[in-house]
Structure 1
Amino acid sequence: MSNEIKYTFTPAFARAVVDLLGAACRPDPEFPAADVFSLYYDTPARDLLEEKRNSDYLKTKIRCRWYGAVRGTTMERAVFLEAKRKEGAARDKARVLLPLDGATLWNTPLTDPLLCRLPEHLAEAGIPFPRPIFPMFILRYTRHRFIDPATGARIAVDTGIHVPRANPAFIARHNPTPLPVAVLEVKGSLREMPRSLHAVSTFHFRRDTFSKYLACHDMLFCSTGIPGGYTCFAPAAPPRDHA
């Protein structure tokens, strides 16, 4: 298992942070910049989401992930089904290559039985997961990746985090408006920000256990206070006319 450290900061500083990292670090040789697509799965009661909300020591994420052009329409062919498990700050990820491409997944309705059956590929690989689980929504963001030359740590800056598509069987709306936050992630054996990143520490970073899935879910919903109970939350909706 490796460690994952997250920092959140104001999106207005994202361009400057990316430029400073480009001067201090090496670009990732495979994906220096790309849009990331993640289709998240959960139980109807949102059990996996509640693990994160309740800060459970053991957490699980099930998602399909693929990549595309930055703010474009071209998508990579490879789609991976991932089971990501965290034990405290340590993390472990297993993944399976799926027999469909990114464009096909993107254009398939989230209510389609094909997508509901995809997690069974984890079972075939001997990877356990909770049942039943269903597609909830697709999350999209732009990621810039770097390698810290001193420690080999992998560094990512994520911006434009939003929900372009949601499963209407569970979520009544999507929201293309990005979250008002950007994220810097450091993955490796470190437990603190690498020294080579001190140049970006002039910006206000907040060390956080930030979850994109949780934040985007709560942008769309608010809890009713009952386990598994959520009501649609639409702050951008116009006021209703009661006349």
Structure 2
Amino acid sequence: MIRLDLIGIGTGNPDHLTAQASRVLNEADLILLPRKGSAKSDLADLRRTICAAVLARPVQIAEFDMPVRDAEGDYAQAVNAWHDAIASVWRDQIGLHLPQGGRVALLVWGDPSLYDSTLRIAGRLTRAGMDVAVRVVPGITSIQALTAAHAIPLNPLAGPVTVTTGRALRAHGWPADADTIVVMLDSGCAFEVLNPEGISIWWGAYLGMAHEALEHGSLAEAAPRIATRRAALRARHGWIMDVYLMRKEQADGNR
């Protein structure tokens, strides 16, 4: 029997961990840490830093090389094949380090429930015949970190919020009937496809980390600034994780 704990760790700041996350990490028999190549080595370093900060007893830590998603061909098929490969690596690591079963912890950026595939990958273990019980420990999302960094409310007064992806924004434009949208998983400034009139943007990268970067303004004037800064940051660090909120001016002039 394997108990698999998917632990939301926020956006890289050890202070973002909940008390529950710290407790569950200390209950683990094995912590799996992915490596994503030399360009993203500081992501693994952040996970190691978090473990060092919260572990009060020795816990076995196993690092593994993260499979790479095929960037060619059909997107959905490539993602499914990638998830299959990740599940296979998890299964191999668990079998190697915990052949008799036990408690396994995986550290997930943000919260495992929001635009993250860890739960879907974990489901592949069960379908493959492993005796796995999955538990989710919620974490601070990048959306929470973004609104906190800018000191803004997520939603307009009594209004809804649409959460979408950069891919969807680029393909379909501004979501119908939405006044406020949050865009995640944007590989390259999808806001550039929009007519910027009447739209404000709040953007953040590396939220909660020492090199956090923030920009805010009307989309017309902020978009070129964000694009330039984003490219420079990606070149400097070899990777970037960013998220942004955009809001249309309402009829009463409020944003």
Greater relative contact order structure (CA < 8 Å, 6+ sep): 1
TM-score (norm 2): 0.26
Give 1 or 2 for the bigger CA radius of gyration: 2
Q: Which has the higher helix share?
A: 2
TM-score (norm 1): 0.26
Q: Which has the higher strand share?
A: 1
